[in-house]
A and B are shown apart, each in its own frame.
Chain A
């Protein structure tokens, strides 16, 4: 049975307290080539129903992998019973949640005929062939595709409902060469965006151009030198600005994290960044453009709003679910999202970005006498103290305003609210990334964006 065919309104008479009823299906397709061989050719579908019930401040949750009438009714009954179990022990009769009622639907599936797995493999093989023909100094190559469709249908006891299908398609190309000492040197880059494969990957030409750039950087990296550890003037390239917004600031301003003791709770209304910095968690749209992870209705039935976190350097607000909005007495932002049918909604970022400035990247590089240009992030982590870390797999020295030698992989870190005060230039470009997968109890696709940023950070190394 398809989600589209199930009418959730018929179950609303079984809601005895505040209730969210959600049908949810994740569809993942993965193909991986290693040195031209297909090592993964798989498809995973996981779907089911969940109900979450609020009773005197306690939450009950239950899920089932079936879409049958019995399963849906059973999930509501079990969640209601679970909430009552806790309410009977820890319940607060005065506990309430903010009200929200919204109806929003969206569908980002392709209108084109679906390509077969064979056609998708052939597409990846064309990229692989391009690498073989045009990147002679490669000892190992990986081309991997991962496509995720996330379909949700929601009905709440407050009357919210919606049917939303988000999609994204990513291809990662990772190349390995060897340096003069025979050691492996690798570099990988994700390509892709919101949408299904048929809409995102129309031709290999765009990717081929990016493979050329990837290979050029990898050849630079063969001769890379280790960065000098310590605080340095840096340009964080636009692909790093997004992860900076997400890891360094975003996590510390999630309402549940603030409630749990994040330092951001002390800084509301205060100057936490240079006046150049405005940072927003966009719900779905920026300057008329639909963003990588568009959220119109969150999993608590709240119409998603942009959350302006920092405006001209002042910490303005936080991201919320119903619990945290109620606790702080703030407006709902619609940030509650669950990754799978078996997960409860948590406060999650959507499309978090630093807004661009007016500088040109060349003049930003030209303004640094001794520092680094950092690009190509890997993983990252945040802390409630606002201390952040993320990995950087590519970069260059900047000497006297000019790019110098490439540097080896490193890690950058700092205290976000200190580092943001050191921002002195922002480029006029805005680059969005769609490949982020945030980990906070559950995984979650996130969008990230920003310009190039001139600031000071701590660079790890010897």
Chain B
């Protein structure tokens, strides 16, 4: 049976069991992965997965469930459990499903994996590393083809079908010279093709080279307050505080520092942040939100001003605020006017951070963590790779203190991000 047929049958069972509102999402995933560890391509994985997500609302009592079997008995038992779960909870007027929308189908990416290309790209990366960076050790390199077919139906006559296939590439590595080791580094990206060598994609080669430099590290000269140049690889760690605190969890709990900040300046005018699940160059995008709306691109922060919260239907109903037009993610930061090189050149004293190993920021945004695979910047130059260096500050203030955004951006397939320079960070 197709995803649509399974979803239609399941929705029918939910409705026939007395739910006032019902929704069902059926997804089938196909995954083919080649992975190299310790030098050899030594794992070939093919997985087939199914997930049926069921939502039922009965007199404003809501329950949800997922199973991964499509037979009649499993679905019948799941819906009976769903009924019991809904009857056991409290009613909440905020529970709802998406309203009627035109039925649509979406398709993107590629249909089939090319095993030879997957294999050859890994071997090519290994040869490049052996020739260019003999002290570098690839701990793991994987190329995965993933295809998802999905169908969302609900009892308000909403019907969306989608299918997307793409490659995902991930690399983990570290370097060693004698008894000196670099910190482990990793990166990854998704793409609709494998036309470009791995080391020429998403700045992988720069990270490989930096890793070989990072076997020799030094302490920073002493504690200082200065600039932090955040590499695209870890920018999500720093904008993640904002995107999490404007979403359902913190907004419903009432603990978000961005509560009542809509339309206000929450970041430097240098920052414009979009969520673009429909962008052509975002391979890991989506067409339908988790709660059954056709997704749209949005601007979250426009020149520093908060344009939207990231509330789903429940969060919007619960808070009385507007629902976001997408489910977040797929973040795209607008480029700035300065090159990465000039951005570094303007730093009197600071840190270039490429990986952030940090504790979860508290509700106020206070954070601290170790600057991994990072460099000390002095008088406009990368002075040396650093060790055992902690950076700390406040996420709210950090976004306000953005001084420059680079012209160059990296496309990770799931986000398009530049280098960003902020000030007032304590390094110790």
Contacts and interface: CB of A to CB of B under 8 A. Distances in A.
Interface of A: 34-35, 37-48, 57-66, 78, 82-83, 85-86, 89-90, 116-121, 139-140, 142, 176, 183-186, 229-230, 256, 259-261, 263, 266, 327, 342, 344, 378-379, 381, 383-385, 387, 389-393, 408-411, 413-415, 458, 460-462
Given A45-B66, A260-B37, A342-B49, A460 B364 contact: no
A142 B249 CA distance: 10
Given A44-B67, A184-B257, 17 more contacts: A34-B249, A38-B90, A45-B66, A47-B69, A57-B42, A58-B41, A62-B47, A65-B68, A117-B89, A185-B362, A229-B392, A260-B174, A261-B176, A385-B182, A413-B357, A458-B388, A460-B390
B359 interface: yes
11 contacts: A47-B68, A48-B68, A116-B84, A140-B254, A176-B363, A384-B183, A387-B387, A393-B362, A408-B366, A411-B359, A413-B369
Contact of B69 (A57, A65, A82, A116): A65
B64 A117 contact: no
A260 B176 CA distance: 11
A59 B44 contact: yes
Interface of B: 31, 34, 37-38, 40-51, 62-69, 78, 81, 84-90, 92, 115, 119, 137, 139-140, 174, 176, 179, 181-184, 223, 249, 252-255, 257, 314, 318, 357-364, 366-370, 372, 387-388, 390, 392, 426, 428
Contact of A176 (B47, B81, B253): B253
Contacts of A342: 31, 47, 49
B321 to A, nearest CB: 16
A134 B84 CA distance: 32
A383 B372 contact: yes
A435 B358 CA distance: 20
Given A42-B64, A261-B176, A408 B44 contact: no
B89 A86 contact: no
Given A46-B66, A176-B253, A65 B49 contact: yes
Q: Which are the 7 A-B pairs with shortest beta-carbon distances?
A: A391-B359, A118-B88, A460-B368, A82-B44, A411-B359, A184-B363, A460-B390
A45 B68 contact: yes
Nearest to B254: A140
A261 B367 CA distance: 30
A39 B366 CA distance: 27
A444 B174 CA distance: 24
Contacts of A393: 362
B357 A383 contact: yes
Given A38-B90, A184-B364, A230 B369 contact: no
Contacts of B362: 184-186, 393, 408-409
B89 A38 contact: yes
A387 B68 contact: no
Nearest to B85: A117
Contact of B63 (A41, A66, A409): A41
A43 B358 contact: no
B146 to A, nearest CB: 12
Given A35-B253, A38-B89, A260-B37, A58 B426 contact: no
Nearest to B427: A229
B291 to A, nearest CB: 13
B41 A86 contact: yes
A261 B47 contact: no
Contact of A41 (B85, B357, B369, B392): B85
Contacts of A458: 388, 390
Residue among A61, A176, A460 with most chain B CB within 10 A: A460
Contact of A59 (B43, B64, B67): B43
A186 B390 contact: no
A409 B86 CA distance: 38
B317 to A, nearest CB: 12
A261 B137 contact: yes
Given A35-B253, A117-B89, A383-B184, A43 B65 contact: yes
A391 B314 CA distance: 31
A222 to B, nearest CB: 12
B315 to A, nearest CB: 9
Contact of B45 (A44, A62, A184, A392): A62
B22 to A, nearest CB: 15
A371 to B, nearest CB: 17
B87 A118 contact: yes
Contacts of A65: 48-50, 68-69
A261 B215 CA distance: 12
Contacts of A344: 43, 45
Contacts of A392: 359
Nearest to B65: A43
Contact of B314 (A39, A45, A379): A39
B359 A390 contact: yes
Contact of A34 (B63, B69, B89, B252): B252
B366 A41 contact: no
A413 B252 contact: no
A131 B249 CA distance: 20
B101 to A, nearest CB: 24
B83 to A, nearest CB: 10
Nearest to B391: A460
Nearest to B78: A45
A413 B388 contact: yes
Nearest to A84: B44
Contacts of A379: 359-360
A82 B174 contact: no
A229 B387 CA distance: 16
B46 A260 contact: no
Contacts of B89: 38, 41, 117-118, 121
A415 B388 contact: yes
Contacts of A64: 48
Nearest to A82: B44
B416 to A, nearest CB: 25
A87 to B, nearest CB: 10
B44 A385 contact: no
A131 B397 CA distance: 33
Contact of A139 (B88, B139, B254): B254
Given A43-B85, A46-B51, A409-B362, A261 B174 contact: yes
A259 B140 CA distance: 12
B92 A378 contact: no
Given A66-B69, A184-B363, A266-B179, A61 B43 contact: yes
Given A44-B65, A117-B84, A118-B88, A78 B46 contact: yes
A41 B44 contact: no
A389 B38 contact: no
Nearest to B82: A43
Contact of A461 (B65, B87, B257, B392): B392
A28 to B, nearest CB: 9
B392 A460 contact: yes
A409 B62 CA distance: 36
A229 B223 contact: yes
Contacts of B84: 116-118
A378 B38 CA distance: 32
B139 A261 contact: yes
